[in-house]
Amino acid sequence: MKCDLEYCKNLIRSKLYDYSSKLTYLAADDEWISDKIQHVSELLKRAVELRENLIILIRGQPSSGKTYLVRSSMLNVLSNPKTSDVSDNPVHTHFIELCAYDYKDDVKCLRDLLNQLEQIFGTKRDPDSYMMVSQIQTAILHCLKLLKRNGMYLIIAIDGFELFTKGKYDCSSTTGSYSRRQGLLYFLSDSMQLKETCFTVIYVTSDLNSLDRLEKRVKSRFVYEPVYCFSDYDVTEYFNENGQSKKILENCIVKIEKDKLASMALDSICGRDRNMMSIDVGIALLMMKENDFKVKEDGGKTYFQVPVKKKVPEEKFVFEHLNLPEHCILVSLTRLHIRGVYPQTLKEVIDDLKQMVAEFPKERFALPSPEGLRRTFMELVNKGLVEWVNYTQNNIDNVKVRQSVNDPSGFGMPCRFPKYREYLQVDLKELLPTHLSQWLSMADRTL
């Protein structure tokens, strides 16, 4: 029973992941994704024809179709093989896909890469045999050189690039433990400097700050082609009038209550529903016990009941554990909400904080740098306190946004602070410095 339970859990999690990635099952006729696929395909085809080394970094919000983009581009390359410009012989392209979340550290990922490379050559060796890191790297480099000698080209896709940007001494809660090293990134980037190799590495990540954490040795070799994913969609495309999912995966049906669909549509404006749904259900599956797992069969179909309970902490408890830079951003966003300034962006927040410094000159050294504010701002987005807003679908107050919603830096992307009224009701005098509380009270008087 325990084996069946684990199998069912993994099955539901994989189905939900595919379901939450809209572009996996909906018609791929959106103009934006078609352009992205064509662009990435052309980059790969050129690298294959010229037998060049290439790094592609694909960034974007969770569930924005990054994995779909990689796989669709690869299908275009594999389905249309071309001869190399270097020789008249056709180039045999091989594709290896790795997921960083499946490995304890980058050494395990390197070991799996070696195992898949040896499968290409038909080498038989015990995959669990002990090897030192230097031996693994030497064997991988030998395989890469053999690929070029035999007229073959290799494309490696690594999902979860941000996990390999953790420094040895960077042990904060936001960047993970020191066991995550950057040795894999350095090794692959350094191998591209050799004339005896020709391969492409596609890194996929939803962390916009991952490049800021690269070590100098990696940055000096990390020359990449940037690709940014951002998808707009209508959540009602998921379901029919009865609340049953349409255009869904084979043998996978998702139902939703009609009263929940309205709140889900509101969350879709901020791009939260698909990601949060899969995360919440995934956590519920991990916490389930054998007695809680219920299976129901009806009409030849099998239904799995997964109770999802999510405890939302009180706003006061959340606000009490924020640091000063986070309070600076929330104070400015609250002021923008009160004053009715639209769109609310990080750029507007920085301008508001500059006005605060002009009002309180003695506090000019207490204000973080714009880059530091951007990192803090992204952390607030990850925590769910600040949300992205798509004004093209949310026509509140007939707001027209000229800034690009595809801004990968985050400075010009519209956002909102949904809990700004609750933030005002908390006794902020105990949490904020005097100048911040006074700056907030200046806008509070206009309510």
Q: Which two tokens stand for residue 433?
A: 């410095």
Q: Among 404, 395, 432, 271, which Cα is nearest to 345's?
A: 404
pLDDT confidence band for 390 (50 / 70 / 90): low
Peptide bond into 226 cis (omega under 30): no
- Beta pairing partners, 415: 344, 388
Alpha carbon distances (Å) from 212 to 194, 384, 431: 26, 22, 30
Distance, C-alpha 287 to centroid of its chain = 24
Which token pair is 85?
A: 């410009």
C-alpha count within 13 angstroms, C-beta hemisphere, residue 49: 11
pLDDT in tens, 223-267: 899 888 765 555 556 667 776 766 555 566 666 666 666 555 544
| Residue pLDDT, tens place only, 166-193 | 654 444 444 444 445 688 999 999 999 9
Cβ distance 308 to 284 under 8 Å?
yes
Helix (H, G, I), strand (E, B) or coil at 226: strand
- Among candidates 428, 424, 431, which has minimal Cα distance to 446? 424
Distances (CA, A) of 116 to 92, 97, 144: 16, 10, 12
Percent of the chain with pLDDT over 70: 62
Q: Are 246 and 239 in contact (CB under 8 A)?
A: yes
pLDDT of residue 48: 92
Structure tokens at 168: 């040895």
User: In sequence order, what are the beta bridge partners of 159?
Assistant: 99, 204
* CATH superfamily of the 31-229 domain: P-loop containing nucleotide triphosphate hydrolases (3.40.50.300)
Q: Please name the helix (run of DSSP H) or strand (run of DSSP E) that holds residue 302, with its range, or none.
A: strand 301-305
Tokens of 217: 């040795």
Amino acid at 341: V
- Percent of the chain exceeding pLDDT 90 equals 15
What is the pTM assigned to this prediction?
Answer: 0.55
Tell me how far apart the alpha carbons of residues 422 and 407 are, in angstroms, rounded to a whole number.
29
Top pLDDT among 126 and 249 is at 126
pLDDT surpasses 50 at 370: yes
| Whether 77 contacts 44, CB under 8 Å | yes
Containing 283, the helix (H) or strand (E) segment is helix 273-287
In terms of Cβ atoms closer than 10 Å to its own Cβ (0-12, 13-18, 19+), residue 153 is buried
Q: Which of 64-73, 239-248, 298-307, 387-396 has the lowest mean pLDDT?
A: 387-396
Q: What angle do CA 441, 442, 443 make, to 5 degrees?
A: 90
Pairing, β 199-205 against β 152-159 = parallel
Give 250: exposed, middle or buried? Use CB within 10 Å, 0-12, 13-18, 19+. exposed
Please tell me the least confidently modeled range out of 52-61, 277-286, 400-409, 422-431: 400-409
Q: Which of 58, 20, 23 is nearest to 229 (CA)?
A: 58
Closest CA to 199 of 140, 133, 152, 138: 152
Amino acid at 172: S
If 0-12 CB within 10 Å is exposed, 13-18 middle and 19+ buried, where does residue 188 land?
buried
Across residues 390-412, what is the average pLDDT? Answer: 49
Give the type of residue at 414.
P
Q: pLDDT by residue (tens digit) across 305-329? A: 666 554 545 555 677 778 888 888 8
**Torsions phi, psi for 249 (to 5 deg):** -60, 160
Give dist(CA 267, CA 207) in Å, integer: 21
Cα four-point dihedral sign 12, 15, 16, 17: positive
Residue 199 pLDDT class (50, 70, 90 cuts):
very high
pLDDT of residue 27: 44
Beta strand ranges found along 76-196 (DSSP E): 92-99, 152-159
Share the mean pLDDT of the chain: 74
Contact between residue 382 and residue 332 where contact means Cβ atoms under 8 Å apart: no
